[in-house]
A and B are shown apart, each in its own frame.
Chain A
Amino acid sequence: MINCGDCERALNPYLDRELSEEDLVQVREHLDACSGCLHRFAFEESLRRLVRVRCQEQAAPDSLRQRITVTFAIERTRTRTRKRSD
């Protein structure tokens, strides 16, 4: 079984879902047996969630959305004009 050091090194890829199936099994096995690592992993995961959820609250301003819509309309016209003058 992997030790705590190995387990800690796997923290990032584990939370990022980038571990191989094989390593994932090893990490899970260690977490089942080691409450210290389990607590730390659980905490890091909840911190990751906090950052993601709070930051995703931020949306683009409506003014930007409108501006982009207009930009696309202009680009469309430009493409058509170019085609016609071919």
Chain B
Amino acid sequence: MNAESAARPNESTHEEAAANRSRFEEEALKHLDALYRTALRMTRNPSDAEDLVQDALVRAYRFYDRFEPGTNFRAWLFKILTNTYINSYRRKQGRPQESSLDDTEEFFLYNQLSEDRGERVTDVENTVLDQLGADAIQRAIDHLPAQFRTTVQLADVEGLSYAEVADALGVAKGTVMSRLFRGRRLLQRALWEQAQAAGFTTGSKVHANGSNGVVPSTDRAKGGRK
């Protein structure tokens, strides 16, 4: 019926299989951080993200013989992660509530910051953006609608090429490009909102020591840490 009916492998292929498995384990663990980060962006919940990575790696382990040597292992892992998420988590999570981000023009942040400063900015250094920590930037990505979120994460954080993202998500390369185009614009808006929520308001002079000195106006500070 199933595997039993297949020809029984001889001893040397057993050894080969064992070597393959240990190679798989070693390689897979190298990508654990990237898989976890991506799972966290997908589920937006640490415990679901851990479960998702675990489930995906079990599947990858069992399907490793279907991996074509010479092709991109990392992209293959991301593909399994994506499929696992779609099959078992997205349904469970239901429709996630998504914040509404206004679409913005190209170069939104560049324009905002250049306007505030009265001269062109060429670097995020010494701008309010530079004060955003990893948490705030991840929150900004988490505010993107799901399809943009994963695409932006894979391309901009994990550094996958268009072709690799397309393969991982099972979409066309053109789709990846248009999602990135739109997603990155939305991300600029989301980053700006994070900077404002943190009280790094526009117009206030940013001090080099990393604090923005003056306490922002009360309505801006609402909900902030006091």
Residues of A near any B CB (own CB < 8 A): 8, 11-13, 16-18, 36, 39-40, 42-44, 46-48, 50-52, 54-61, 63-65, 67-69, 71-72, 75-76, 79, 83, 86
Contacts and interface: CB of A to CB of B under 8 A. Distances in A.
Contacts, number: 122
Contacts of B141: 51, 55
Given A71-B54, A86-B8, A60 B129 contact: no
Contacts of B33: 56, 58-60
14 contacts: A43-B107, A43-B121, A43-B122, A46-B123, A51-B141, A55-B137, A57-B134, A60-B32, A60-B37, A61-B46, A64-B53, A68-B28, A68-B54, A69-B29
Main secondary structure of the interface of A (DSSP, over half): helix
Chain B residues touching A, majority SS = helix
Nearest to B24: A72
A6 to B, nearest CB: 13
Contacts of B8: 86
A12 B180 contact: yes
Interface of B: 4, 8, 14, 17, 21, 25, 28-29, 32-33, 35-37, 40, 46, 50, 53-54, 57-58, 61-62, 106-107, 109-110, 113, 120-125, 129-130, 132-134, 137-138, 141, 153, 155-157, 159, 161-162, 177, 180-181, 184, 187-188
Contacts of B134: 54-55, 57-58
A17 to B, nearest CB: 8
Contact of B29 (A16, A54, A65, A75): A65
Contact of A8 (B106, B121, B123, B155): B106
